[in-house]
Structure 1
């Protein structure tokens, strides 16, 4: 089958290890099934795998990709949930200490066919294209859990999103706006802030800029560079939800005094559950949300999509069609 896989790794030249070509069909363990992929989306996770982060070299070659939508052998149109629980785990799979994502232990979704546990399939709602469905399982699911499960925001609340242009941030703006939440964003570049406003954000501010009022929640994926601003931006009793630290995980100040004095909640968030993915897909359809797609191209041209991401040219999701 055709697949995009990591054959080797290089921190400085990640594309050198990417091979787009023939790959063995996936093995199908007991309790698993196969999905014929119709669309798959690219994530920074895939580039980091090529750089040697999170994917041990002894697991190569590995088909890359976490996000996909396709068709089962019996004709059902489905979205693939990428979080793989360990054998015997019950409950929220994101809390399983031995969990993995597709493309970390088992071959991923950038292929004509992907094998997944039967319980990892979500029926694709009518009215949701394969291309848009393929955008949901990683960045969009992460944003959904941050907003609605862990921050617990309600219509009328104000949420600050640090780093306007990231995949999770973009998804959060669209989701929050559709739910009646007032969404504010920060960005180092005015143009990226303007793009967020065009997608539904109420206001955009420069990184570190003083806000006109305190917010109910902050969604934090930047880390060290914005941590103090996030804490200072919260109202007493507010919540900061963190799901990443792209600028580093060691801020100059932990702000512990402000955390306890203002009774702030600091919540970690990772991906989301299959149930949340199901709810997310329904919400996207009923709200008329269209995930932002940077570009769509055949899987055979996957190298071009990876190059766009490595060069920092992506605005929205890169989607490969099969």
Structure 2
């Protein structure tokens, strides 16, 4: 049955639970068998997946490559991967016979990702309550365990830098032949990219300050840890802004010192302090930036990604205060 936009946007926890129970009771679709119609939680998760994947073409090639969360959604929905990418194409308006209600829904959500995030949280809560554990349905936007919808790492991107990024991304669509996104859509993508970068850096660094080991056990609220770029966000291109090897996790004190150029790292990941730090006679400075609190080398998880040497070179040459 067709749904109107109000039914999607007004989705309740009870509605979502009922829809999940019907989804989880489905049998696998056999060759040549028709699939059942999409219910709102499926369509909304496809919309959330579009945010996660960014600006891509939703054709059969995407289905065959199978980037997360396409195979995961196909598995839990008991659908083919091509069905998931076709639904995304419907939402985007890329199919001549696509449902108009899908297009109207995406027109609302693409300019208001916060509303989509609200619905995403409701859908995942309902999924967990009806038996769809993270192993079956992963939190691919990494928003499930936040008490609020505050995205991580947003304090690193100032207004001037965001405006520059907006202009840069919008210019990519000039004469490109594809629909030019709105400023709100691009801004939402910039912010979710930064959130995913920050989350990846915190995980890579074991949820602790690489300089001193400070950390909190409540990983849903890493409010006293920062995930900062080594080569600053404002000076990086899109790839560098998303690259986990361009980030370190730090407590507020050591994060501020790293950003200000009072700390840097050698190619061997040795911690180097500036002259004004090493020459200071202030007891608090000597405590925070001396042994045993300050490590001689930063510590990463076994198998973690080490900072890329060119990012470290950039920081030493352009930020560090010798």
- Whether TM-score is above 0.5 comes out as no
Please give the TM-score of this superposition, normalised by the length of structure 2.
0.28
Which has the larger strand fraction? 1
Please give the TM-score of this superposition, normalised by the length of structure 1.
0.28
Which has the larger helix fraction? 2
Q: Which has the larger radius of gyration?
A: 2
